[in-house]
C-alpha cells in the first residue's frame, strides 16, 4: 500500500511594495505635469503686457476664468472618476492642459487668451485638482490617508518648483511662447505613464487597499480605526473600520453607476444641509483667495512694481513651492494624529500674519525678512488640504471625495475673485497694498470659522442628513 500523496500548498507570495504606492507615485507625477500652468500666469503676465498692451485686469480675467473652471470642474471630475475610472479622466485632463498651453503661442487677441488659459486649461486643471489627491487616497488607502493626501498635494507645489525657474528664464529669452510649449510638453509627457500604471481601483488588480484587512480578520483594526477617527475630531458614529474587500474598494463601492453630473449634484444637495460643509466652503474660499488668487497670480507683478527683477521674484515663488512640499506632507502627518479643525485655525491665522507684513517686505532686492516670509508662507501654502479632506471624509463618508470637490470649487471661486479684484486694485491705485491687507483680514475670519466647527460634527451631521441606501 503506497503512502498517501501529500499536496503541498505554496506559500503566499508577499508583495514588497503594495500597488497603492505605485499608483500614488504615478498620481504624484501626473500632478507635477499638470501643475506647470500654475506657475505661468505670474511669470507671463508682464511679457504679454509688453507685447500686446493688454491691461492687468484683462489678463487677470483670463486667470479668473481658469480658476472658476478649475474649481467647478472638480466635483464633477470626482464623480467622473467613479463612473469612468481614474485613469481615463486623468489622461484626458493632461491632454487638455497640453493642448491649451500649446495653442497659447498662436494668440493675437485678448479673447483668445480667455479660451486657452481660461477654458481649455481650466477644464484640464480642474479635473486634476486637489480632489484627485483625495480620490486616490480614499480609493487606494485604508490607513495613512492624511499622509498620502499631503504627499499628492505636494505634487502641485513640486510642479511649480520644477517649472517656474525655467518658465521665467524662457519668458525673457527666447520668449513667452517657448515657455508655453514647455508647459505643454510637461503635461503630455506624463500621459503614457498614466495609461500604463494608474489603475482605477484595488479591485481591478485583485488586491485590498493599503492597510485594509479582510472582514473576517479585521476585528482588531476596527477598534483601532475608531480610536484614530475620534482622536482626529470624529465620533464613533462616523469612524470607519480599516477593513475592506477588493469588490468594495473605492469611494463609490457597491453603488450603481449613475450619471456623474447627477451624482455630483445629489451629493451637493445632501451636503448643503450640513453646517460643517458651509464652514469648510467659507474657509477654503479664503484659502484660494490668499494662495492661487493673490500670491500665485500677483506676487511677481507686485515685486516687479517695487523694482525686483522678474526672475528673482520667480525664484522666490519657487522657494514657496519647495517649502510647500515640506509643509503639506507634514500637515498630512499631523492630520492623522491631531484634530483637523484646530490645525486649520492655526494655518489660516499664520497665513494672515504673513500677508499683513508682506507690503513692508517688498523691495528691489531680497532681504532676509523676505526669505523668512517665503519659507513660512510656503510651509502654510496648501497645508490646509489634508485636514479639510479629513473632515469631509469623517462627516460625509463615501461621499467625502465628491464633497471635497465642491469645497475645492469654493477654493477656486475665491481664487478667481481675488485674482480679478487684485488686478483691478492695481490698475486703480498703482499698487497691491490694499489687496494684501484685505487678504490678511480674511485669513483671520477663516481661522475663526475653522475653530467654530464642532468637535463632534460628524455624529450630528450624519444624523441630520441621511445617506441614501
pLDDT tens per residue across span 88-110: 989 998 999 888 888 888 888 88
Is residue 249 included in any domain, yes or no?
Answer: no
The three-state secondary structure class of 241 is coil
What's the CA gap between 88 and 111, in Å, rounded? 30
Domain count, the chain: 1
Beta bridge partners, 93, equal none
Q: Which cell is 132 given?
A: 484627485
Band (276; pLDDT cuts 50, 70, 90): very high
Q: Which cell is 322 given?
A: 519647495
Domain, as residue range, for 159:
19-203+266-464
- Among the ranges 102-106, 238-242, 244-248, 451-455, which has the highest mean pLDDT value? 102-106
Band (255; pLDDT cuts 50, 70, 90): very low
Question: pLDDT tens, 298-332?
Answer: 888 888 888 888 788 888 887 887 888 888 888 88
Is residue 420 included in any domain, yes or no?
Answer: yes
Is residue 316 included in any domain, yes or no?
Answer: yes
pLDDT for 211 beyond 50: yes
Instruction: Read off the DSSP letter of residue 203.
Output: G
What's the CA gap between 105 and 94, in Å, rounded? 18
H helices of 430-456, where? 433-451
Determine the length of the chain: 469
pLDDT of amino acid 458: 45
Is residue 388 included in any domain, yes or no?
Answer: yes
Contact 289, 415 (CB under 8 A): yes
Question: pLDDT tens, 395-418?
Answer: 888 888 788 888 988 888 898 889
Among residues 6, 132, 137, 115, the alpha carbon closest in space to that of 62 is found at 115
Please say whether the dihedral angle defined by the alpha carbons of residues 399, 401, 405 and 407, taken in this order, is positive or negative. Answer: positive
Say what the pTM is. Answer: 0.65
pLDDT of amino acid 244: 41
Q: Which cell is 104 given?
A: 497659447
User: What mean pLDDT is predicted for residues 215-232?
Assistant: 40
Is residue 215 included in any domain, yes or no?
Answer: no
Please provide residue 430's backbone torsions phi and psi, each rounded to the nearest 5 degrees: 80, 5
Contact 86, 94 (CB under 8 A): no
Mean pLDDT lowest for which of 9-23, 334-348, 410-424? Answer: 9-23
What's the CA gap between 52 and 395, in Å, rounded? 49
Provide the CATH number for the domain around residue 427. Answer: 1.20.1250.20
Question: pLDDT tens, 425-440?
Answer: 888 888 899 999 999 9
Is residue 179 included in any domain, yes or no?
Answer: yes
pLDDT of amino acid 282: 94
pLDDT of amino acid 258: 53
Is residue 241 included in any domain, yes or no?
Answer: no
Among residues 297, 285, 286, the alpha carbon closest in space to that of 420 is found at 297
Is residue 454 included in any domain, yes or no?
Answer: yes
What's the CA gap between 315 and 321, in Å, rounded? 10
Question: pLDDT tens, 63-85?
Answer: 888 878 877 787 777 778 878 88
Amino acid at each position: 500500500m503506497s503512502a498517501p500523496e501529500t499536496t503541498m500548498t505554496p506559500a503566499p507570495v508577499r508583495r514588497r511594495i503594495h500597488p497603492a504606492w505605485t499608483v500614488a507615485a504615478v498620481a504624484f507625477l501626473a500632478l507635477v505635469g499638470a501643475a506647470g500652468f500654475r506657475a505661468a500666469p505670474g511669470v507671463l503676465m508682464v511679457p504679454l503686457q509688453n507685447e500686446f498692451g493688454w491691461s492687468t485686469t484683462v489678463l487677470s480675467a483670463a486667470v479668473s476664468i481658469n480658476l472658476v473652471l478649475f474649481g467647478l470642474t472638480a466635483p464633477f471630475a470626482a464623480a467622473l472618476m467613479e463612473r469612468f475610472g481614474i485613469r481615463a479622466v486623468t489622461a484626458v485632463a493632461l491632454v487638455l492642459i497640453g493642448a491649451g498651453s500649446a495653442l497659447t503661442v498662436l494668440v493675437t487677441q485678448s479673447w483668445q487668451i480667455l479660451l486657452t488659459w481660461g477654458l481649455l486649461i481650466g477644464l484640464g486643471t480642474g479635473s486634476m485638482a486637489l480632489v484627485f489627491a483625495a480620490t486616490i487616497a480614499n480609493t487606494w488607502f485604508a490607513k495613512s490617508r492624511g499622509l498620502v493626501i499631503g504627499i499628492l498635494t505636494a505634487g502641485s507645489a513640486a510642479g511649480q518648483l520644477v517649472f517656474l525657474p525655467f518658465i521665467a528664464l524662457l519668458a525673457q529669452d527666447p520668449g513667452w511662447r517657448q515657455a508655453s510649449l514647455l508647459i505643454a510638453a510637461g503635461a503630455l509627457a506624463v500621459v503614457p505613464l498614466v495609461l500604463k500604471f494608474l489603475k482605477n481601483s484595488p479591485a481591478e488588480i485583485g488586491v485590498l487597499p493599503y492597510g485594509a484587512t479582510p472582514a473576517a480578520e479585521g476585528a482588531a483594526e476596527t477598534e483601532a480605526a475608531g480610536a484614530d477617527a475620534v482622536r482626529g475630531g470624529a465620533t464613533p458614529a462616523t469612524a470607519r473600520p480599516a477593513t475592506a474587500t477588493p469588490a468594495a474598494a473605492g469611494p463609490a463601492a457597491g453603488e450603481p453607476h449613475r450619471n456623474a453630473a447627477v451624482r455630483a449634484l445629489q451629493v451637493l444637495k445632501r451636503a448643503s444641509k450640513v453646517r460643517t460643509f458651509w464652514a469648510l466652503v467659507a474657509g477654503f474660499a479664503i484659502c484660494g483667495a490668499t494662495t492661487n488668487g493673490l500670491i500665485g497670480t500677483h506676487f511677481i507683478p507686485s515685486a516687479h512694481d517695487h523694482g525686483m527683477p522678474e526672475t528673482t521674484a520667480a525664484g522666490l515663488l519657487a522657494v514657496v513651492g519647495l517649502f510647500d512640499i515640506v509643509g503639506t506632507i507634514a500637515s498630512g502627518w499631523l492630520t492623522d494624529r491631531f484634530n483637523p479643525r484646530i490645525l486649520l485655525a492655526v494655518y489660516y491665522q499664520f497665513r494672515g500674519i504673513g500677508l499683513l507684513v508682506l507690503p513692508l517686505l517688498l523691495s528691489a532686492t531680497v532681504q532676509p525678512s523676505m526669505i523668512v516670509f517665503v519659507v513660512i508662507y510656503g510651509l502654510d501654502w496648501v497645508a490646509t488640504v489634508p485636514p479639510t479632506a479629513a473632515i469631509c471624509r469623517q462627516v460625509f463618508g463615501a461621499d467625502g471625495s465628491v464633497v471635497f470637490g465642491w469645497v475645492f470649487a469654493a477654493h477656486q471661486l475665491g481664487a478667481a475673485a481675488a485674482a480679478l479684484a487684485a488686478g483691478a486694485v492695481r490698475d486703480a491705485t498703482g499698487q497691491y497694498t490694499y489687496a494684501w491687507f484685505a487678504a490678511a483680514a480674511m485669513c483671520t475670519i477663516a481661522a475663526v470659522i475653522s475653530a467654530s466647527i464642532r468637535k463632534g460634527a460628524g455624529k450630528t451631521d450624519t444624523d441630520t442628513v441621511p445617506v441614501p441606501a
